[in-house]
Amino acid sequence: MSILNVLKQHASNTPNAPAIVFEGNEWSYSELYKNAQKIAGYLQQQGYQKGDIVAQFMLNSDSFMAVYYGVQLAGLTIMPVNTKLAPPEVEFIFGHSEAKLLIFDEKIEQTIANSTHSFKEKINSEKISEILNTDDAGFTEVAMGADDTAVVMYTSGTTGKPKGVQLSHRNVYETAEIWSESMKMTSKDRMYVCTPLFHCAGSHVFAVPTMYRGGAVIIEEAFSPDRTLKNLVDTKATIFFGVPAMYTILLNKPELKNYNFENLRMFVYGAAPMPYELVKRLKDTFPKVKVQNCYGQTENSPAASSLTDQDALTKIGSVGRPLPRTEIKLVDALGEEVPLGEVGEICVKGPQVMKGYLRNPEETSRTIQNGWLHSGDLGRFDEEGFLYIVDRKKDMIIRGGENIYPIEVEEVLYQIPQVLEAAVVGVPHEVYGEVPKAFVVVKAEQSLTADEVLAYCATQLAKYKIPMEVEFLEELPRNASGKVLKHTLRPRASETTQS
């Protein structure tokens, strides 16, 4: 019940098969496993103990995967951290997790330069390269249980504070098996990953499942339309994953017609809905390439449901049927299943459901009840068993695949001395799907400009969370109990954005 055992088997049975390709450099399975052992050996020699959490603040690379596997081989817990977060957000994660070690890329060290968290050690990517260039790994195998925590990934909660999702070795293994089965992966597949590996989808839906089947993972540091198009062909990629915004950008590239994508067999998308016109255009442009949607959240590793190619155009808006060995039910406020066709909270059950939230038993008990993960998303089933999401978790905004919780942005807005009230909602955007817009009420006899608001947000929030627009109001609309009526702000926000 460990992906580490699968990796070891590949290294033994097919040692020369390609495992990772990055910037023209290729690691075979035997090389990847040896490199992971070198990382593990170093960590063991430094005295880290089983269960210690290692923060990984790294960009996409082959070294990312060596660290990801190496930390786990040492019996430790790997914690990939979103490199797009602002310093205060990263600092909270470091402190709450009580991470013992930080492994980071020099390219992005400015974000963590002023961290006050007391790490036992900080290792940069240059040091990782030195470790990988040593001859003797000095590695000793560690006995691990299927339910030991392999990975911790922080995901923002509706309260505004990030929550550490604990995924066991069993969770990661089962998710790899589930997704590789759903996508019909084989050892011949070459998965192209340009979305962040620190995201659960990048690592656990694509990279790890591909390696579970013995295929190759082609890693790009970040999505870049011209480079991505060329690399898809040059690397003979068979599967590509992207959020809808990426597909829109690629389809609008005039150079697209100059490439021969004969090796591609599947486009996978997730994180946000894909409109009919975009799916239709994708299938018309690439008639031999299948299109598949994936739905899940970090709390289920992420694996809940999938809409496969045969239904891609007839079930637009659906996130498909439950994945293998996965159950989904919809419940009302009392926890009772709702009748077919009615809306209820999406609950997921399966071997991929998390152990719980790190150091947060109250939220864990609220989220997991009798083995069922309560997602917070609202959905409905149609007569054929296809699931549709009708509202997102609370008021979450999905900007180009990145989750934004309005309350996180609102808390920053309230830090501005002149702000009396603030509310953030999502507004439509033709490339990113939707973006945040802020409504602000300024205190009496105070003055504040939109530029000043955005400048402050830039010091406290990740770039993608910064409002695209700021509108000032005399007061926020509220109901009798004082709750802000965001549903009345959304139409107003859309109108002003389009005008």
Distance CA 132, CA 126 (A): 10
**Exposure letters 389-413 (e unless 16+ CB within 10 A, then b):** beeebebbbbbbbbbbbbbbbbbbb
In this predicted structure, what is the pLDDT of residue 176? 98
Distance CA 298, CA 429 (A): 25
- Encoded tokens for 388: 């549709």
pLDDT digits (tens, 9 = 90+) for 163-211: 999 999 999 999 999 999 999 999 999 999 999 999 999 999 999 999 9
pLDDT digits (tens, 9 = 90+) for 417-470: 999 889 999 999 989 999 999 999 999 999 999 999 999 999 999 999 999 999
Asked if residue 360 lies in contact with residue 163, where contact means CB atoms within 8 angstroms, the answer is yes
**Strands 318-322, 387-391: pairing kind:** antiparallel
pLDDT digits (tens, 9 = 90+) for 461-496: 999 999 999 999 999 987 644 567 887 888 776 666
In this predicted structure, what is the pLDDT of residue 384? 97
In this predicted structure, what is the pLDDT of residue 494? 65
* Among 118-127, 268-277, 307-316, 373-382, the least confident range: 268-277
Residue at a domain's end among 327, 356, 381: 381
Check whether residue 452 and residue 357 sit in a common domain. no
Check whether residue 346 and residue 491 sit in a common domain. no
Check whether residue 376 and residue 402 sit in a common domain. no
Q: Is residue 300 part of a domain?
A: yes
Q: Is residue 390 part of a domain?
A: no
Q: Is residue 387 part of a domain?
A: no
pLDDT digits (tens, 9 = 90+) for 328-359: 999 998 999 999 999 889 999 999 999 999 99
Check whether residue 332 and residue 407 sit in a common domain. no
Q: Is residue 393 part of a domain?
A: no
Sheet holding 356-357, edge to edge: 121-124, 101-104, 53-57, 77-80, 149-156, 162-168, 356-357
What's the domain count of the chain?
Answer: 2
Q: Is residue 141 part of a domain?
A: yes
- The secondary structure of the chain, three-state, reads CCHHHHHHHHHHHCCCCEEEEECCEEEEHHHHHHHHHHHHHHHHHCCCCCCCEEEEECCCCHHHHHHHHHHHHCCCEEEECCCCCCHHHHHHHHHHHCCCEEEECHHHHHHHCCCCCCCCEEEEHHHHHHHHCCCCCCCCCCCCCCCCEEEEEEEECCCCCEEEEEEEHHHHHHHHHHHHHHCCCCCCCEEEECCCCCCHHHHHHHHHHHHHCCCEEEECCCCCHHHHHHHHHHCCCCEEEECHHHHHHHHCCHHHHHCCCCCCCEEEEECCCCCHHHHHHHHHHCCCCEEEEEECCHHHCCCCEEECHHHCCCCCCEEEEECCCCEEEEECCCCCECCCCCCEEEEEECCCCCCEECCCHHHHHHHEECCEEEEEEEEEECCCCCEEEEECCCCCEEECCEEECHHHHHHHHCCCCCEEEEEEEEEEECCCEEEEEEEEEECCCCCCCHHHHHHHHHHHCCHHHCCCEEEECCCCCECCCCCECHHHHHHHHHHHHHC
Check whether residue 224 and residue 124 sit in a common domain. yes
Check whether residue 350 and residue 472 sit in a common domain. no
Task: Give 136 or 26, the one with higher predicted confidence.
Answer: 26
For residue 497, what pLDDT band results from cuts at 50, 70 and 90? low
Expressed as residue numbers, the domain containing 483 is: 398-498
pLDDT digits (tens, 9 = 90+) for 127-161: 999 999 998 889 999 999 999 999 999 986 444 57
Distance CA 99, CA 120 (A): 9
Instruction: Please enumerate in sequence order all residues whose Cβ is within 8 A of that of 349, keeping only pairs 6 or more positions apart, or say none.
Output: 326, 327, 328, 329, 371, 372, 373
Q: Is residue 408 part of a domain?
A: yes
Distance CA 217, CA 239 (A): 10
Check whether residue 413 and residue 372 sit in a common domain. no
Distance CA 399, CA 243 (A): 10
Check whether residue 269 and residue 336 sit in a common domain. yes
Check whether residue 344 and residue 425 sit in a common domain. no
Residue at a domain's end among 337, 353, 381: 381
Domain of 226, CATH number, reads: 3.40.50.12780
Q: Across the strands, what pairs with 151?
A: 78, 167
Q: Is residue 11 part of a domain?
A: yes
Check whether residue 305 and residue 371 sit in a common domain. yes
Check whether residue 374 and residue 407 sit in a common domain. no
Residue at a domain's end among 325, 350, 381: 381
Distance CA 453, CA 494 (A): 20
Domain of 408, CATH number, reads: 3.30.300.30
Check whether residue 269 and residue 324 sit in a common domain. yes
Quick one: average pLDDT of 253-282? 91
Q: Is residue 309 part of a domain?
A: yes
